[in-house]
Amino acid sequence: MRVLVIAQYFPPDIGGSATRAHNIAKGLFLNGCDVTVIAAFPHYPHGKIPKEYHWKPFKVEWLDNMRVIRTFMPPIASKGFLRRLLLIGGFALSALFAMRLVGKFDMVWTSSWIPGIVYGKVNKKPVVINVDDLTIEDLYDLTLLKRNSFSAKIAELVYRAFYLMGDAVTPISHGYVEIIATKYHVERDKIQVVRAGVDLQTFKLQDHSSNDKFTVLYSGAFSIAYDFEQVLMAAKIVGAEDKGVEFIIQGKGELEDFIKYKVIELHLKNVKVIDKLLSRTEVAKLLNQADALILPLADFGRPYMGISSKLYEYQAVGKPIICCALGQPSDYIKETNSGIVVKPSNYEALAETILYLKKNPIVVKNLGECGRQYVENNMSLEKIGLRMKNILETMNSKDSSGICIKCPP
């Protein structure tokens, strides 16, 4: 099967969307599919385009034995609503210019809906709409869009049209299903949850370098989806009680200046900020050097419906997870017995949890082992790729009337 993957975000870009697109593409490839990727020039989150892409409309390259067609993106940092819209629109347009380079394909899997639907309609091929997050609902939570406003109603109508133009919808979380089905009127049998998965060859157990201190680490985007103030306030409490704990915050993004300012304002000597992007191999190595890993999601006033791909990477390196979130992430951590859940914004409880883990190495070991075992059994790229391949094959086996001609009645 020949699959065209279309994704604005793709490694070396960081973030869940880039990880998801890469994992699906590689998972399909590992299951025997011929995969071609259309992705933007590396740009997220800083907006700095690498020199090798300058003055080029597109560039063809190879990643993990998959052909990747990179298309133009404006050098704009992903900050604010209007800039994000410009970046989305820029890729939607530039991706279309790669059409003559793609060659033949049987299916389209797209996390960038506009070009994905265009490619599918022009070539009369089925289109799978990926859902990394519920964008409109997230805009409400972040107060970037007012509920029931004229703009909100138009945005919801547009999103409903996109959903309905897809032949299947593959959200990353079961928490998205109800809203997609009821609010956007997508038939439930078209919705198939496929988790983000994790590359177990990259994120694996490594020797933990000996360190006198108990290290708590966050690695990823410095985005407004995360509550770094909770982490830093907890660090202040912990630092006053135990000098043997250090905090590391690694990544890039729009909250970088805020994080650095708060470290100075709170006089935090136990916090290290690594403000640079790392390769996936470097991230895996860094995660292995920590004792506990943290997911500090912001409090949006309701249970979180998505699941960060970061959780699977944290589990894969065999470390306990401190999950500052309610909803799907906390449910997942509890079900897999791979960490401790702390209420968002409660920095006192976070500090208490960190000190508890430092004093209980057996708990740390057991939680880490449970997480690693779970992803080995359920979240490898081969497994999520096989699930996606089965979905695509079922779609491909239908005739033009929508009746499955290969499946038994």
CATH number, position 256:
3.40.50.2000
Verify that 247 and 370 share a domain, yes or no: yes
Token pair 């490619």 is found at 119
Residues 10 and 338: their CA atoms lie apart, in Å, by 28
Q: Are strands 168-171 and 127-131 parallel, antiparallel or unpaired?
A: parallel
How confident is the model over 354-359, as a mean pLDDT? 97
What is the model's pTM?
A: 0.86
Verify that 390 and 371 share a domain, yes or no: no
Verify that 343 and 257 share a domain, yes or no: yes
Distances 294 to 101, 297, 350 between C-alpha atoms, Å: 42, 9, 10
Note the pLDDT of residue 398: 61
pLDDT greater than 50 at residue 403: no
Confidence of residue 407 (pLDDT cuts 50, 70, 90): very low
Verify that 136 and 42 share a domain, yes or no: yes
How confident is the model over 364-375, as a mean pLDDT? 97
Percent share of the chain, pLDDT over 70:
95
The DSSP call for residue 269 is S
Choice between 390 and 400, residue whose per-residue pLDDT is larger: 390
Verify that 292 and 367 share a domain, yes or no: yes
Q: What is the pLDDT of residues 77-93, one digit of tens each?
A: 887 778 888 888 899 99
Q: What are phi and psi of 262, to 5 degrees?
A: -65, -35
Token pair 């009746």 is found at 403
Verify that 254 and 240 share a domain, yes or no: yes
User: Which secondary-structure segment (H or E) carries 70?
Assistant: strand 66-71
How confident is the model over 339-344, as a mean pLDDT? 96
* Residue 203, in any domain of the structure: no
Count of CB atoms situated within 10 Å of the CB of 148: 8
Of the candidate ranges 32-36, 42-46, 386-390, the one whose mean pLDDT is the lowest: 42-46
Contact (CB, 8 A) for 294 and 320: no
Its domain, for residue 34, covers 2-197+380-396
* Residue 182, in any domain of the structure: yes
| Cβ-proximal residues to 227 (8 Å cutoff; 6+ apart), any chain | 296, 297, 298, 299, 324, 344, 345
Amino acid identity at 68: V
How confident is the model over 39-65, as a mean pLDDT? 90
Q: What are phi and psi of 112, to 5 degrees?
A: -110, 100
How confident is the model over 168-196, as a mean pLDDT? 93
Tokens of 366: 């057991």
* Residue 162, in any domain of the structure: yes
How confident is the model over 367-387, as a mean pLDDT? 96
Residues 140 and 408: their CA atoms lie apart, in Å, by 44
pLDDT greater than 50 at residue 263: yes
Verify that 228 and 300 share a domain, yes or no: yes
* Residue 205, in any domain of the structure: no
Of the candidate ranges 20-34, 138-152, 273-287, 354-368, the one whose mean pLDDT is the lowest: 138-152
Verify that 115 and 126 share a domain, yes or no: yes
Confidence of residue 401 (pLDDT cuts 50, 70, 90): very low
**Nearest-10 Cα torsion for 125, 62, 23, 144:** -80
Residues 186 and 193: their CA atoms lie apart, in Å, by 14
Contact (CB, 8 A) for 105 and 36: yes
Note the pLDDT of residue 152: 79
Confidence of residue 352 (pLDDT cuts 50, 70, 90): very high
Verify that 269 and 242 share a domain, yes or no: yes
Q: What is the mean pLDDT of the chain?
A: 90
* Residue 207, in any domain of the structure: no
**Nearest-10 Cα torsion for 178, 182, 183, 187:** 100
* Residue 404, in any domain of the structure: no
pLDDT greater than 70 at residue 409: no
Verify that 374 and 384 share a domain, yes or no: no
Token pair 């933007």 is found at 40
pLDDT greater than 80 at residue 59: yes
pLDDT greater than 60 at residue 211: yes
Tokens of 58: 């597109």
Tokens of 384: 């999520």
Contact (CB, 8 A) for 320 and 340: yes
Q: What is the pLDDT of residues 119-169, one digit of tens each?
A: 999 999 999 999 998 877 877 776 777 888 888 788 888 888 989 999 999
Q: What are phi and psi of 204, to 5 degrees?
A: -140, 170
* Residue 329, in any domain of the structure: yes
Verify that 273 and 314 share a domain, yes or no: yes
Verify that 193 and 302 share a domain, yes or no: no
Amino acid identity at 23: N
Note the pLDDT of residue 14: 81
* Residue 101, in any domain of the structure: yes
The total of structural domains in the chain comes to 2
Q: What are phi and psi of 71, to 5 degrees?
A: -120, 160
Note the pLDDT of residue 408: 36
